[in-house]
Amino acid sequence: MAILKVTRLGHPVLRKVTAIIPAEELQFPGMQDFIDDMIETMKDYDGVGLAADQVFESKQIAVLEVSENPRYPQKPKVPLTVLVNPRITPLSEDMEDDWEGCLSIPDLRGRVPRYKTIRVQALDRDGNELDFVAEDFHARVIQHEFDHLNGKVYLDRMRDFSTLTFLQEFARYWLRT
Ligand code: NI
């Protein structure tokens, strides 16, 4: 396993729509190794999610996990999940604003509106069909990663940039909001 380099904003790969993965391609040994590397990279960077294009592979794979995380304390836990070719459908029009950061946009954080409840359809790393409902922070993380796979970053979703803040100023001025 290996920790991969994470792309930063400005690299064109982050703005490309990623390619759908044929299910049989998941059986290639290199693909399973790559997914393991994505998981290890996400954990090493204290991320709660990582999309393949953030490690220079323009393919529809995202990994996510929320456990004890210093970047996002006191968030509900989400088990380690691998999403291949995900599709999401909002289950209501309800949206909620909350803070997001991104490993590809270091040191910054901003408030982003997201759907509160979504249906998620995808394949898992073995090609099995996944179909589940995600809510609140879980739904937020999936929408963030889904956006990556479609060439978008959270800045594109902000209503405006008035809450965009560096982490040091976040801790000093915004933490209680
Ligand atoms: Ni991100």
Structural domains in the chain, CATH included, are: 12-174 (3.90.45.10)
Task: Tell me, yes or no, if 145 is annotated catalytic.
Answer: yes
User: Of these residues, 57, 129, 145, 169, which one is catalytic?
Assistant: 145
pTM above threshold 0.85: yes
As a whole-number percent, the residues of the chain with pLDDT over 70 amount to 99
- Taking the centre of ligand 1 as the mean of its atom positions, its distance from the CA of residue 89, in whole angstroms, is 20
- Nearest to 110, CA basis, from 119, 123, 101: 101
Give the contacts of 142 (CB within 8 A, at least 6 positions apart). Answer: 49, 62, 64, 83, 86, 88, 118, 120, 134
pLDDT at 177: 53
Residue 50 three-state SS:
strand
pLDDT at 72: 75
Contact (CB, 8 A) for 92 and 115: yes
- Taking the centre of ligand 1 as the mean of its atom positions, its distance from the CA of residue 143, in whole angstroms, is 10
Tens digits of per-residue pLDDT, 42-68? 999 999 999 999 999 999 999 999 987
pLDDT at 87: 98
Count of beta carbons in the 10 Å neighbourhood of residue 94: 10
Rounded distance between C-alpha atoms, residue 112 and residue 30, angstroms: 35
- Taking the centre of ligand 1 as the mean of its atom positions, its distance from the CA of residue 148, in whole angstroms, is 7
The encoded tokens of residue 103 equal 């490993």
pLDDT at 164: 98
- Taking the centre of ligand 1 as the mean of its atom positions, its distance from the CA of residue 141, in whole angstroms, is 9
Residue 174 three-state SS:
helix
Q: pLDDT below 50 — which residues of the chain? A: none
- Taking the centre of ligand 1 as the mean of its atom positions, its distance from the CA of residue 126, in whole angstroms, is 24
Give the contacts of 103 (CB within 8 A, at least 6 positions apart). Answer: 6, 45, 47, 50, 54
